[in-house]
Amino acid sequence: MHLRSFTARNMPEAMAKVRAALGKDAVILSTEDEFGVGIRVTAAVEEEAETSNLAMAPDAFEAVDAIAAALDYHNVPRHLTERLVNSASILPADDWCLALAGAIDEALSFAPLPTKMSTRPLVLFGVNGAGKTSTAAKLCAGARLAGRGGSLITMDADKTGGLAQVSAFAEALGARLDRARDGKELAKAIGNSPSDHLIVVDTMGVSPFEANDMRQLKAAVADLDIEAALVLPAGSDAVESAETAIAFAEAGATCLIPTRLDAARRMGGFINAAHAAGLAMMGAGNSPNIGAGLLPLNAVVLARLIVPEKLHWSAHSGDAADPQSLRTGHG
């Protein structure tokens, strides 16, 4: 029996997905409301054993348990853990890390870093202290490494030391620096930036739960042809991160850039945030070194961040990690 989970806005849409993926013989095992999405349906269908290499492996159940333990270690919420484990367990793959990557690719979306191709300004949203300024500098560093100029526009220069910090970054990177206090000045600053530059806007830090702060943020970017990304520190509470992401998505964010991966042990917060708000993961900050730029993220990279090295398991060798080891320590 193969299990799969489906998310949809309502039951008819969920049933259509089940029938399209598993056929008319699929059996609904459970349904539940999914925060910020709609409904999640878990369905099963009897299929031939050869459909999945992992299902044939002698230690497949132990590997499933170990992957679930790894996700639990990262505080990935149970509903998302179940979805990822169910998907990974039926994907044909010789390595559990790759199977998990396939499941992640089904559940989450990813966007390329805008170092070369993007012609739209990238506006960074986030709370105070999230790492927006250093992320803006890393994006400009990535553009420079790709042979492209960068323009950095700050709307957060009034914070203590803010202007000095962003000026130092811009000077070190050879980036053009401008300031804007409101939407009108931002539109002018964008218009004054060279058309071949990567334009990055560092907005003011705001609370996602203060209506006035969010109105000001929305007003600042209203009617501008931009792409907005939420900068969110790793290691935060999963529910709080999801609520934060949903609030900024309502303000126009479509992408997510987690920061401080080098200083965080658990990644369930930003993973749940991306899933709950439907944000594409664009890249990640995993080093205090500005010149290192951002880590490009995709499903395989994220799976390798989640799964300890000893859990990279081969269906051919049958060498699976002991799942109990993950419950007493990661790696």
Is 80 exceeded by the pLDDT of residue 19?
yes
Supply the Cα-derived Rg of the chain in whole angstroms.
22
Is 70 exceeded by the pLDDT of residue 315?
no
Look at residues 272, 274, 222 and name the one whose alpha carbon lies nearest to residue 251: 222
29-62 pLDDT per residue, tens: 667 666 566 787 767 676 554 444 444 454 566 6
Is 60 exceeded by the pLDDT of residue 171?
yes
CATH fold group of domain 122-297: Rossmann fold (3.40.50)
**The total number of residues written for the chain in this structure:** 331
Predicted model pTM: 0.77
Which three-class secondary structure string do you get for the chain?
CEEEEEEECCHHHHHHHHHHHHCCCCEEEEEEEECCCEEEEEEEECCCHHHCHHHHCCCHHHHHHHHHHHHHHCCCCHHHHHHHHHHHHHCCCCEHHHHHHHHHHHHCCECCCCCCCCCCCEEEECCCCCCHHHHHHHHHHHHHHCCCCEEEEECCCCCCCHHHHHHHHHHHHCCEEEECCCHHHHHHHHHHCCCCCEEEEECCCCCCCCHHHHHHHHHHHCCCCCEEEEEEECCCCHHHHHHHHHHHHHCCEEEEEEECHHHCCCCHHHHHHHHHHCCEECEECCCCCHHHCCEECCHHHHHHHHCCHHHCCECCCCECCCHHHHHHCCC
Query: What confidence score (pLDDT) does residue 325 get?
Result: 46
The mean pLDDT of 143-151, rounded to a whole number, is 90
Locate the domains of the chain by residue range: 1-47, 53-108+306-331, 122-297
Judging by DSSP bridges, how do beta strands 150-154 and 176-179 pair with one another?
parallel
38 versus 85: the higher-pLDDT residue is 85
Name the least confident of 128-137, 170-179, 221-230, 267-276.
170-179
Query: What confidence score (pLDDT) does residue 55 get?
Result: 47
In the chain the first and final C-alpha atoms are separated, in Å, by 31
Is 60 exceeded by the pLDDT of residue 220?
yes
Q: How far is CA 174 from CA 122, 140, 166, 204, in A?
A: 18, 9, 12, 23
Q: Are 255 and 227 in contact (CB under 8 A)?
A: yes
